[in-house]
Structure 1
Amino acid sequence: MNPLLQNAADKLIREIFAVQPGETVVITADDDSDAAVVQAVYESAHAVGAHPLKVQMPTPRGVGKAADPDLALDALSGMLLYADVWIEFNHQWLLYSTPFERAEAQNKKLRYMCLVDFNEALMIRTIGQVETAQLRDFMLAVTERTKNAKHMRVTTPAGCDVSFEIEPKHYTACDCGDASKPGIHMLTGQINVVPRFGTIQGKIVFDGSVTPPFGRIPDAPICLTIENSVITEVTGGEDAAVFRKHLESFEDPGMFKLAHIAYGFNPGAILTGNIVEDERIWGSTEWGIGYVSPFDAPPHGQDAKSHCDGICLNSSVWLDGVQIMDEGKIVEEALAALVPPLPNR
């Protein structure tokens, strides 16, 4: 076993999930999952005295509800209804599938994390080599600063310049490496903000990966013109035209509405085309387009047939006119003092 991988698995189990002796830890995977990652987490859970269960299944043909026809729905649901922890390493993710919805609705103690397409290098970079406790303090401070602001502006060297109002009634999610409480958790290193609907104005330029339809960096930056939170123009290279057609293919005006913005703050994340990692690149911002859940934006959310995400690298951010980040570097003094060690690349 790779000792760096085992250390990362230990951090996931001990520091992030705070797994206790006697807890049931379900680890799901499909035939395209990384077996070494699954085994390392299984062994870490066993080492702390938990009861780990590895569940491997044939790779479903779709994700979410589209995976249902290929799942043992009742058997998998039954197991998850009694689990304390569920860590998902599936390639075709089960997030929003029927077993997921049943477990989240009925198992009020469940702590869940979706780690799609995790391999050894990704596990080591984004979990094993991250100072979780220090990063948590920094991210919580940024979250509070953002929640208490009324206005946010974001620019990038690629030409992004967008502003919006912050809606205090919308949920600001901070995935800061604490999955010790029941709920849905994601990989460490992202703060998600749902702006006040209808207030986003300016230009958003994706110079990192865009998923879907690509799952990679576009051939040229994709520029979105935004008026009142709606995309009115898409320009760039050939991929920009493909992206516009992708949005149009849903025949749903909701797919031209901006959904959310997120800060990327994982010190180990690099641009790979895997959106789970890319949207956590330090100093980036990520924009979601389309669907927003009622949980994130009560009471109704934002309806749309689907959702996609794009990355804006090296972001500068102002909150109520005060700059806190300059091209990916934290410049506000109090926040800068909390920044964890960053790798030299």
Structure 2
Amino acid sequence: MTLTSNTPDIARAADVLVHDYMSIQPHENVIITADTDTDPSVIQSIFTSVETLGARAVVITTRKLPFQGSLADPFIPNIISELTMNCDVWIDLTFPYFAGSTFHDNTMKLGKARYLLGGDMGRGGLVRLFGKVDLDKYFEVHQGFDRIIAESEGKECHITNNQGTNVRFRIGKPGYTKPRKASKPGMYLVPGACTIFPQEETVTGKIVVDSVFHEYYTHLPEPLILNVEGKIKNLEGGGSERKVMDRALRRAGGGTYGYVIHFTYGIHPAARQTEPSFVEAMRVQGANSVGLGLPWWNPGGGENHPDAILSTQSIMIDGNKFVEEGIIVSPEELTIMAQHLEPLFFS
């Protein structure tokens, strides 16, 4: 028997992404952007789901970009912007991704397109991130987490892990919400991670990470240590990847290392680190994708920043345990909801 790439698992996951999460309707125009490293089965399954629904899809494949954000501008074919500005939905499967580039910003300013930053999801990643989760239950937990962080603005947050991470900061203003469905024009992310924005100047301590997305995503030959006192002061360890992170930080920070601009909490019940995928790895239970560089409201900031992932974090807010070794432990109501958030299995 010959097996095709569009198996029931991946077809189901693509349908959740297309029909449910992105709320694509018949007769809408959908653009799928991919690069030369994008998993072909992910492209095909999403394309098939869009067309079967009665919408119209086109796939654009470019060479892999060397950088993300506006740093990618010189490498992006001009013809793409003419297409994205006339679409209803844009599913971006490139990595580094188009988000933050000038043409992406111009497309978003038109207020028409719903953009999904799909990034480097592989076949297994698509199945797990969209096909193995009850999104209604997931967003109950996600929104509960976000409420606690919003109510904790100005309070001290303390993040640790068993590799030596020990960092403190004051919680800043919430940056954006992540709705259950992409029902309005705007930018959407793959479900699976909650964001904590710090007051950048208050971040102090040591951050120890296992993997990084600087110019590409990679696991590290040895842990990388970021020493922070308001700004990132220096790097230790990381093996051969420390040099790449150094130049990525200087590129993103305008010649200096810049700040820690966000922390996250991975909350997806099915995400794994079994594939070399940044988008999936940062959503693993208890993971923390630490954004580095300049905030988007500063010139040259935003989506140019590198990220570094630490694992199995614990979080305290004003001395009270919130997350312990990757698991939500308070308040009780949110703890119970999180305990019931498990991977889906189909017979």
Q: CA deviation at 1:142?
A: 0.1
Matches of 1:336 and 1:60, distance apart in 2: 41
Q: Aligned to 1:292, what secondary structure does the other structure show?
A: coil
Aligned to 2:97: 93
Kindly indicate whether residue 308 of structure 2 is the aligned counterpart of residue 321 of structure 1: no
Aligned to 1:283: 286
Aligned to 2:220: 218
Structure 1 residues 214 and 87 mapped into 2: Cα distance closer, same or farther (>3 Å)?
closer
Structure 1 residues 267 and 249 mapped into 2: Cα distance closer, same or farther (>3 Å)?
same
Give deviations 1:145-184, integer Å, cap 9, x for gaps.
Answer: 011112211111111111111123x51x454653222211
Identity %: 27
Matches of 1:214 and 1:109, distance apart in 2: 30
Q: CA deviation at 1:124?
A: 0.4
Native 8 Å contact 2:268 2:285 kept in 1:
yes
Matches of 1:325 and 1:305, distance apart in 2: 28
Aligned to 2:3: none
Aligned to 1:261: 263
Native 8 Å contact 1:215 1:273 kept in 2:
yes
Q: Aligned to 1:209, what secondary structure does the other structure show?
A: strand
Kindly indicate whether residue 237 of structure 2 is the aligned counterpart of residue 236 of structure 1: yes
Alignment length (residue pairs)? 332
Aligned to 1:341: 341
Q: CA deviation at 1:125?
A: 1.3
RMSD: 2.7
Native 8 Å contact 2:258 2:292 kept in 1:
yes
Aligned residue type for 1:230: K
Q: CA deviation at 1:48?
A: 2.8
Residue from 329, 332, 346 that aligns with 1:331: 329
Native 8 Å contact 2:18 2:49 kept in 1:
yes
Matches of 2:263 and 2:299, distance apart in 1: 15
Q: CA deviation at 1:317?
A: 0.8
Structure 1 residues 69 and 159 mapped into 2: Cα distance closer, same or farther (>3 Å)?
closer
Aligned to 2:129: 126
Q: Describe how 1:92-241 pairs up with structure 2 within 5 A.
A: 92-106=96-110, 108-149=111-152, 150-168=155-173, 170-171=174-175, 173-175=176-178, 177-206=180-209, 208-212=210-214, 215-227=217-229, 229-236=230-237, 238-239=239-240, 241=242
Aligned residue type for 1:178: K
Kindly indicate whether residue 34 of structure 2 is the aligned counterpart of residue 29 of structure 1: yes
178-187 or 124-133, which moves further after superposition? 178-187
* TM-score with structure 2 setting the length: 0.86
Matches of 2:286 and 2:124, distance apart in 1: 21
Matches of 2:248 and 2:98, distance apart in 1: 24
191-200 or 24-33, which moves further after superposition? 24-33
Q: Aligned to 2:121, what secondary structure does the other structure show?
A: coil
Which runs of 5 or more residues in structure 2 are unaligned? Answer: 1-5
Q: CA deviation at 1:238?
A: 2.9
Give deviations 1:7-37, integer Å, cap 9, x for gaps.
Answer: 0000001221122233222222234322222
Give deviations 1:198-217, integer Å, cap 9, x for gaps.
Answer: 111221111x2112156222
Aligned residue type for 2:226: L
Structure 1 residues 329 and 23 mapped into 2: Cα distance closer, same or farther (>3 Å)?
same
Which runs of 5 or more residues in structure 1 are unaligned? Answer: 295-299
* TM-score with structure 1 setting the length: 0.86
